[in-house]
Chain A
Amino acid sequence: MSQKKILLVEDNEFNRKIVRDLLARQPYDLLEAHDGEAGVVAARRDKPDVIVMDVQLPKLSGLDATRAIRAEPETAKIPIIVVTSFALSGDDKKAMDAGASAYLAKPYSPRQLLDTIRRMAGDA
């Protein structure tokens, strides 16, 4: 049985590396996308088990990408963890309205992110 796939949609290399390093010794395959559009394409193509979605992304914002993924029947059920920069009040509500399954504010603790991924993947 193959490992569960985690799709990370994040434009900052260092933040991608955190997740990469965090999941290196975990039983997950990490897929990466650098912008919102690529994230939607990857979700459709690879059918990941969990998606970690940054909000501020080039081309298509994380919230719009979340909505697009939710709109397609094939990808609609995939758990999505939305990560925001907590810029303005109500970001959590916006994330939930867009269809997020969970929500984390930057800066997040890698431990906390890992817990959330596990919970979403049904491994916790």
Chain B
Amino acid sequence: MPGNEVGILDGPAATPPAATGLSDRTARLLLIYTPLGRLVRAVARMRSSVHFKLLAAFLLVALLVAVMGAISLEIMSRMSRQSEAMHHAHHRVTSARQAQHALALQMNYTAMALILRDEATIGSILKENNRLNTMLAQIEDAAPAEEREAIQRIRSAQGDVMATVADVANLVRDGKVEQAMQLQLKSGYPLFQQVEGLVEQVVRIEEGNMDRQRDATALANRHAFYLMGGLVIASLMLALLLGFVTSWSFILPVREAQRFLGRVAKGDFSTTVTVDNRDEFGDLAAQMNRMSAELNRLYEEQQAAARQLEMVNTQLARASQAKSEFLANMSHELRTPMNAILGFTEMILDDIYGEVPPDIRGPIQDVRTCGQQLLRLINDVLDLSKIEAGRMELSLTDYSVQEVVETARTSLRSLAAEKGLEFVADVAPDLPLAYGDGKRITQCLTNLVGNALKFTKQGRVEIGARLDGDCVVYRVTDTGIGIPADQLDQIFGEFRQVDASISREFGGTGLGLSITKTFVELHGGRIWVESEPGRGSTFRFAIPLRVAEATEAA
């Protein structure tokens, strides 16, 4: 038995609070090394409620108190009976002694009658005879057989005595004193002696009875003392036992539950709790086991889901990596020949290979223009692919707004000049250094200015930049064809141009605005447009002066 209970009661998790340390250790030793452990488990296994068990324990203790009360009442009444019997025995002894006394006086008065010879003395003899008889009658009632026989014999002998006394008295009255004395000596005195012996016997019997009664009373007292003491000790022990067994039958499952919850709290969901109890604690343990099974199931499901997610993530990462690599490769593969085409064209036009004949220069310039257009398309498509792949990242550094505007203006100045458009920049002079992806912002502005130039046949294109709160607001205003009101909210979508005829007339893929919007939003900014068909358009985008690092990740 100790073997399996060591497991239940020991171990670090079983360490009770320090306050109950000593009594707890004692209790544990008792549970392991005495049959109390078995008893505790038996109580735990009882198929009844905790309420019933507690009630039963209290009722048992109450019953014990009631039994003790009843027994002590019984003992008290028995002792009272004993004392009454003692009193009775004492009374009987007194009566026997009085009888003895009456007999002695009778003998004495008889002797006196012989000397005094008067009627008074003779009357006294009769009086003492009556007293003797009265006393004997008192004893005779409850006397044992032996004593009753002695009393009968006293009565018959006393009859003889009284006959002799009567004779003596008559002789005395007749003056025959000598004869009376002879009669008294010869028959009266021996008869007296005989009666005296018998009375003495009765006295001794009564005294013996009284002694026995006294011994019996003393014995009964001792018994009562032991009985009461024993009962008190037994009651205490039983109450302690009941308390111990009941409380430990509740404490053990609570401890088990505590250890179980400790394990669950540490993340061990496969654990279970085992208790002997078949009461509310048993139900509780069963519920906790269901809970832990459910937790374990959820945990395993979650683990499986996490593994699956991880796998999907890995696959996605691999796919994304492949896409990035493809983009990088495509970028390289496309730019390498573009580099050669544009490079050779530029060198030819720079007369590196000798002076270009005037009639050839035009077509070569066309090759260059188309090459640059193709490069822009390639760049747009690659940017869009990166945006779609979620691989578009900003490269954040300090940049100058003036420089951004200047770069955009410089790259498109020749186009404006070719179309004969007025082309001006209006930048606030005191703009502080900005933080963001200057190249991408330049690209945005260049896209907008490029569009403005493309869609404006005459008039002017104006670039502006000013600080508005924490934002830099870039503005591109043209006097071009404008955008119908119902198309305004669509133009930032991919592949959007106002209508198909536009692309035939003006060219372009419709990717520029979509890419621009993405870059602006990657910076945490926004872009909007105001336009009036026939009068022109104004595009604005606002970008935080200092882009937060977090924006880059988003």
Contacts and interface: CB of A to CB of B under 8 A. Distances in A.
Interface of A: 12, 14-15, 17-18, 21-22, 24-25, 56, 85-90, 92-93, 106-111
30 contacts: A12-B336, A14-B337, A15-B339, A15-B340, A18-B343, A21-B352, A22-B347, A22-B352, A24-B352, A86-B331, A87-B331, A87-B332, A88-B324, A88-B328, A88-B391, A89-B392, A89-B394, A89-B439, A90-B393, A93-B395, A106-B335, A106-B336, A106-B339, A107-B338, A108-B343, A109-B346, A110-B343, A110-B346, A110-B352, A111-B346
A14 B332 contact: no
Main secondary structure of the interface of A (DSSP, over half): loop
B344 interface: yes
Contact of B328 (A12, A17, A87, A107): A87
Contacts of B342: 107, 109
Interface residues of B, number: 31
Contacts of A111: 346, 350
- Give the residue among A18, A90, A106, A108 with the most B Cβ atoms within 10 A: A106
Contacts of A92: 395
Contacts of A18: 339-340, 343-344, 347
Nearest to A89: B395
A87 B325 CA distance: 10
- Give the residue among A17, A24, A88, A93 with the most B Cβ atoms within 10 A: A88
A15 B331 contact: no
Contact of A108 (B339, B341, B382): B339
A17 B327 CA distance: 26
B53 to A, nearest CB: 75
Contacts of A89: 392-395, 437, 439-440
Given A12-B336, A22-B352, A85-B336, A107 B327 contact: no
Contacts of B332: 56, 85, 87
Given A87-B328, A90-B393, 13 more contacts: A18-B339, A21-B347, A87-B332, A88-B391, A89-B392, A89-B440, A106-B336, A107-B343, A107-B375, A108-B343, A110-B347, A110-B352, A111-B350
Contacts of B347: 18, 21-22, 110
B353 interface: yes
Nearest to B341: A107
Main secondary structure of the interface of B (DSSP, over half): helix
B155 interface: no
Contacts of B375: 107
Contacts of B338: 106-107
A89 B519 CA distance: 12
Contacts of A106: 335-336, 338-339
A39 B344 CA distance: 24
B335 A86 contact: yes
Nearest to A112: B346
Nearest to B352: A21
B386 interface: yes
- Give the residue among B335, B342, B375 with the most A Cβ atoms within 10 A: B335
A109 B342 CA distance: 7
Contacts of A12: 336, 340
State the 8 A-B residue pairs at the shortest beta-carbon distance, nearest first.
Answer: A14-B340, A107-B339, A87-B331, A87-B328, A18-B343, A89-B395, A85-B332, A106-B335
A106 B375 CA distance: 10
- Give the residue among B324, B327, B332 with the most A Cβ atoms within 10 A: B332
A85 B393 contact: no
Nearest to B344: A18
Interface in B344-370: 344, 346-347, 350, 352-353
Nearest to B328: A87
B384 to A, nearest CB: 14
Contacts of B440: 89
Nearest to A16: B340
Contacts of B340: 12, 14-15, 17-18
Contacts of A85: 328, 331-332, 335-336
B407 to A, nearest CB: 14
Contacts of B324: 88
A111 B395 CA distance: 27
A17 B391 CA distance: 34
Contacts of B439: 89
B499 to A, nearest CB: 33
- Give the residue among A15, A18, A93, A107 with the most B Cβ atoms within 10 A: A107
